[in-house]
């Protein structure tokens, strides 16, 4: 669509700008402020330059939390994206069953995050939870409160349970926008199932899949409540992801300078990834509009 | 009818074989979503199962369904003001947030979808980065900000704080829906002598009504599920259900039945709103961009 040049459009954006700026800029400035100071309690602050940043970036604790975060995000993306696409492909495209599927699948997305954590906490209890009891009676030695492997298995499974539906819904929306004529043409040409997927369905889903990867990346990168309620970051530090570590430092240990520097580094990383995806998306939009 | 010459061209046997293969695949295809839905329902079933058990039965050991069925946990929640006020508080700030977010996002999304203006792309990206900001980063500064303006422990604090990620999301979704409306409609209306506000309310908003519904749904959803900020910004008067649940989990020992019942009740509002937008939900998740 061609847009008209009109700077008065700023007035339409102004309310949004004011509300979001109040919530974004003031707290962000506070964080920046803390990150370059040292505090010894009693509201005494001293300028300390970049020492907090250096301390964070060289601390083993932060590096390990970061590595765990990348591992977690990588694993869940590798599982959720293909699984979501596969389920969307197998779903009924229209009719009552399609609606039933959509409503049931969207249900996990609407459960408060702390309830998701509590639910999985109960579900995975080794003695009285269905999952824990089931795995143990199948002969696995499973206990998420004291085994890192079990804990990781549980938080990954929980995230798959919680968010795969988002990918399904996005992929499904992409699939439904494909005109029936494409399929008929493919059938006449005798195209294989794989060819239909590769040359018709995948290109049509590309746009929504970029959104899916972006949202899943970002949301898994800032995940806090669910693993916190489920494992509390334990056993030990095995499932202490970035956000959990951050809240521990800020509210638990009241180590403001360090926590703030961590926040800024963390925020810049999300920003970078966000920008990459955004460029990818808008470039694609521009190309489609041009052609 | 148009397909008939094509099927005749293929040897009959091969065509029959392919048709059977395809039918078999179709017959097995429903299995994938069904298994997935069963997987989704298992933890929910377990929560419901627990909520109808007595504490003694829960701690006694594994049982796939309640042996002594009881609704005591639900009675406790629905008669104890501490509990049911948790739900009411949550719903109040969620509704306030949804109304604010949609109201301010409507004109902004219109501006982004129709006009080019100074810094529009940067502004849009900046808005999106706020959707991406980890709430953990903002928890402490928010606490200080809202305490200093005297809004701590009110519905407004949570409702305004949730605007941080809900407004960008609302703008993003609405912009997608608005871009699907041809621009000629606006131009015709202006030629017909409509003023902008009248055109917007009388003509444009009905056209994107489903988009507005979906946006409201998403604002409701993300405000309803977010608990870190809601918990940080409240203490007594506006305490959300999440905070009540955590307190129960820690102070009154191991009351899993009560906790499970409270959890089940938090699923219900979501299930109700999801039912209303079921036909638009897929498009909404694609941010109106399909």
The residue ranking higher by pLDDT, B27 or A154, is A154
Spatial distance between the Cα atoms of A244 and B282, rounded to a whole number of angstroms: 32
> What are B158-167's pLDDT values in tens digits?
999 999 989 9
What phi, psi does A225 have (nearest 5°)?
Answer: -60, -50
> What are B153-196's pLDDT values in tens digits?
889 999 999 999 899 989 988 988 888 888 888 889 989 888 88
Indicate whether B30 and B97 sit together in one domain: no
Q: Look at residue B21 in the predicted model and tell me its pLDDT.
A: 65
Q: Do A128 and B104 touch (CB under 8 A)?
A: no
CA B239, A155, B241: angle at the middle one, nearest 5? 10
Contact B229, B162 (CB under 8 A): yes
Indicate whether B147 and B203 sit together in one domain: yes
Q: Which residues of chain A does B239 touch, with a Cβ-Cβ cutoff of 8 Å?
A: none
Residues paired with residue A39 on neighbouring β-strands, in sequence order: A45
Mutate to test the interface with B, among A4, A16, A35, A277 (most CBs of B within 10 A): A16
Q: Which of A55-59, A280-284, B18-22, B153-157 has the lowest mean pLDDT?
A: B18-22
Question: Within a domain: residue B67?
Answer: no
Contact B258, B77 (CB under 8 A): yes
What phi, psi does A50 have (nearest 5°)?
Answer: -95, 10
Q: Report domain extents, chain A.
A: 60-256+267-290
Q: What percent of chain A has pLDDT over 70?
A: 94
Question: Within a domain: residue B59?
Answer: no
**Over 90: is that where the pLDDT of A68 sits?**
yes
ipTM of this complex: 0.85
Q: Look at residue A1 in the predicted model and tell me its pLDDT.
A: 56
Q: What is the mean pLDDT of chain B?
A: 83
Q: Look at residue B23 in the predicted model and tell me its pLDDT.
A: 65
Question: Within a domain: residue B205?
Answer: yes
Q: Which residues contact B276 (CB under 8 A, 6 or more apart)?
A: B213, B217
Residues paired with residue A5 on neighbouring β-strands, in sequence order: B116
Question: Within a domain: residue B56?
Answer: no
Indicate whether B89 and B31 sit together in one domain: no
Q: Which residues of chain A does B282 touch, with a Cβ-Cβ cutoff of 8 Å?
A: 102, 169-170, 172-173, 176
Structure tokens of A68? 């765990």
A238 CB neighbour count, 10 Å cutoff: 18
Q: Look at residue A246 in the predicted model and tell me its pLDDT.
A: 83
Which of A184-188, A214-218, A222-226, B37-41 is modeled with the greatest confidence? B37-41
Q: Do A12 and B167 touch (CB under 8 A)?
A: no
Q: Do A278 and B125 touch (CB under 8 A)?
A: yes
Give the mean model confidence (pLDDT) for residues A159-177. 89
Q: What is the pTM of this model?
A: 0.85
Indicate whether B172 and B93 sit together in one domain: yes
Spatial distance between the Cα atoms of A150 and A239, rounded to a whole number of angstroms: 10
Q: Do B289 and A106 touch (CB under 8 A)?
A: no
A278, closest residue in chain B (CA to CA): B125
Q: Give the pLDDT band (50/70/90) at residue B14.
A: low
B82 CB neighbour count, 10 Å cutoff: 11
Nearest to residue A154, comparing CAs of A234, A242, A81? Answer: A234
B25 CB neighbour count, 10 Å cutoff: 11
Indicate whether B95 and B16 sit together in one domain: no
Q: Which of B12, B31, B51 is the last residue of a domain?
A: B51
3-state secondary structure B5-60: HHHHHCCHHHHHHHHHHHHHHHHHHCHHHHHHHHHHHHHHHHHHHHHCCCHHHHHH
Eight-state DSSP code of residue A45: E
Structure tokens of A232? 């509390």
The CATH class, in words, for A60-256+267-290 is mainly alpha
Spatial distance between the Cα atoms of A199 and A178, rounded to a whole number of angstroms: 12
Which of A10, A102, A108 is the closest to B282 by Cβ? A102
Indicate whether B151 and B17 sit together in one domain: no
The residue ranking higher by pLDDT, B110 or B210, is B110
Q: Which residues of chain B does A105 touch, with a Cβ-Cβ cutoff of 8 Å?
A: 33, 36-37, 40
Nearest to residue A184, comparing CAs of A198, A173, A200? Answer: A200
Q: How far is CA A30 from CA A25, A256, B138, B143, B157, in A?
A: 8, 11, 9, 11, 18
Spatial distance between the Cα atoms of B120 and B75, rounded to a whole number of angstroms: 53
Question: Within a domain: residue B69?
Answer: no
Question: Within a domain: residue B71?
Answer: no
**Over 80: is that where the pLDDT of B215 sits?**
yes
Indicate whether B42 and B96 sit together in one domain: no
Q: Look at residue A95 in the predicted model and tell me its pLDDT.
A: 79
**Over 50: is that where the pLDDT of A116 sits?**
yes
**Over 50: is that where the pLDDT of B139 sits?**
yes
Question: Within a domain: residue B62?
Answer: no
Indicate whether B95 and B178 sit together in one domain: yes
Question: Within a domain: residue B221?
Answer: yes
Q: Do B46 and A15 touch (CB under 8 A)?
A: no
> What are A231-262's pLDDT values in tens digits?
887 788 888 888 888 888 777 776 778 888 88
What phi, psi does A38 have (nearest 5°)?
Answer: -115, 140
What phi, psi does B116 have (nearest 5°)?
Answer: -100, 130
Structure tokens of B70? 């009881």
Mutate to test the interface with A, among B35, B36, B159, B200 (most CBs of A within 10 A): B36
Q: Do A20 and B164 touch (CB under 8 A)?
A: yes
Nearest to residue B277, comparing CAs of B232, B214, B223? Answer: B214
User: What is the domain-level CATH number for residue B211?
Assistant: 1.10.3720.10
Eight-state DSSP code of residue B62: -
Q: Give the pLDDT band (50/70/90) at residue B2.
A: very low
Q: Look at residue B179 in the predicted model and tell me its pLDDT.
A: 86
**Over 80: is that where the pLDDT of B224 sits?**
yes
**Over 80: is that where the pLDDT of B249 sits?**
no
Cα-only R_g, chain A:
23
Q: Look at residue B4 in the predicted model and tell me its pLDDT.
A: 45
Indicate whether B199 and B271 sit together in one domain: yes
Q: How many helices (H) and strands (E) does chain A have?
A: 13, 3
3-class DSSP state of B116: strand
What phi, psi does A287 have (nearest 5°)?
Answer: -65, -40
B286 CB neighbour count, 10 Å cutoff: 24
The count of domains in chain B is: 2
**What is the residue range of B16's domain?**
4-51
Q: What is the DSSP string of A175-192?
A: HHTS-HHHHHHHHHTT--
Spatial distance between the Cα atoms of B71 and B67, rounded to a whole number of angstroms: 13
Indicate whether B23 and B101 sit together in one domain: no
Q: Which residues of chain B does A275 touch, with a Cβ-Cβ cutoff of 8 Å?
A: 125
The whole-angstrom distance between A47's CA and the closest CA on chain B is 19
Indicate whether B113 and B231 sit together in one domain: yes
Q: Which residues of chain A does B249 touch, with a Cβ-Cβ cutoff of 8 Å?
A: 118
């Amino acid at each position: 669509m061609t847009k008209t040049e009109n700077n008065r459009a700023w007035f339409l954006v102004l309310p949004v700008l004011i509300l979001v700026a109040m919530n974004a800029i003031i707290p962000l400035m506070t964080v920046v402020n803390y990150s370059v100071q040292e505090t010894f309690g009693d509201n005494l602050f001293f300028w300390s330059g970049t020492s907090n940043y250096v301390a964070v970036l060289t601390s083993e604790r932060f590096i390990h939390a970061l590595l765990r975060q990348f591992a977690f995000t990588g694993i869940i993306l590798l599982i959720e994206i293909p699984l979501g696409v596969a389920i969307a492909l197998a779903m009924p495209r229209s009719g009552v069953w399609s609606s039933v599927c959509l409503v049931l699948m969207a249900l996990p997305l609407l459960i408060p995050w702390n309830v998701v954590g509590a639910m999985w906490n109960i579900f995975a209890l080794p003695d009285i939870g269905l999952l824990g009891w089931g795995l143990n009676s199948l002969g696995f030695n499973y206990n998420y409160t004291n085994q890192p492997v079990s804990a990781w298995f549980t938080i990954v499974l929980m995230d798959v349970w919680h968010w795969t539906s988002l990918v399904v819904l996005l992929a499904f929306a992409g699939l439904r926008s494909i005109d029936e004529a494409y399929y008929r043409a493919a059938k006449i040409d005798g195209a294989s199932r794989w060819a239909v997927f590769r040359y018709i369905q995948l290109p049509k889903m590309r746009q929504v899949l970029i959104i899916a990867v972006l949202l899943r990346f970002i949301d898994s990168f800032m995940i806090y409540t669910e693993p916190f309620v489920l494992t509390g970051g334990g056993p030990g530090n095995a499932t202490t992801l970035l956000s959990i570590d951050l809240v521990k430092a800020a509210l638990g240990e009241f180590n403001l300078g360090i926590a703030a520097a961590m926040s800024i580094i963390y925020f810049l990383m999300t920003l970078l990834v966000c920008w990459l995806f955004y460029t990818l998306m808008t470039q694609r939009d521009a190309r489609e509009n041009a052609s | 009818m148009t397909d008939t010459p094509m099927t005749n061209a293929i040897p009959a046997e091969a065509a029959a074989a392919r048709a059977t293969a395809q039918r078999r695949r179709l017959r097995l295809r429903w299995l994938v979503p069904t298994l997935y839905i069963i997987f989704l329902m298992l933890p929910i079933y377990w929560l419901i199962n627990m909520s109808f058990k007595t504490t003694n039965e829960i701690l006694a050991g594994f049982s796939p369904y309640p042996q002594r069925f009881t609704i005591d946990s639900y009675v406790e929640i629905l008669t104890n003001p501490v509990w049911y006020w948790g739900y009411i508080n949550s719903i109040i700030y969620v509704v306030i947030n949804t109304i604010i977010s949609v109201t301010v996002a409507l004109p902004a999304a219109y501006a982004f979808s129709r006009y080019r203006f100074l810094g529009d792309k940067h502004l849009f990206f900046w808005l999106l980065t706020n959707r991406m900001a980890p709430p953990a980063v903002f928890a402490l500064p928010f606490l200080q900000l809202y305490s200093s303006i005297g809004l701590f422990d009110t519905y407004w604090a949570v409702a305004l704080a949730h605007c941080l990620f809900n407004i960008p999301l609302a703008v993003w979704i609405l912009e997608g829906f608005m871009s699907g409306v041809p621009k000629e409609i606006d131009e015709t209306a202006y030629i017909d002598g409509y003023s902008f506000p009248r055109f917007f309310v009388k003509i444009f908003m009905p056209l994107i009504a489903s988009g507005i519904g979906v946006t409201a749904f998403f604002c409701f959803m993300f405000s309803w599920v977010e608990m870190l900020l809601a918990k940080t910004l409240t203490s007594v008067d506006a305490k959300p259900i999440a905070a009540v649940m955590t307190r129960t989990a820690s102070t009154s020992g191991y009351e899993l039945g009560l906790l499970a019942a409270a959890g089940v009740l938090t699923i219900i509002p979501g299930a109700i709103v999801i039912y209303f937008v079921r036909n638009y939900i897929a498009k909404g998740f694609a941010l109106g961009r399909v």
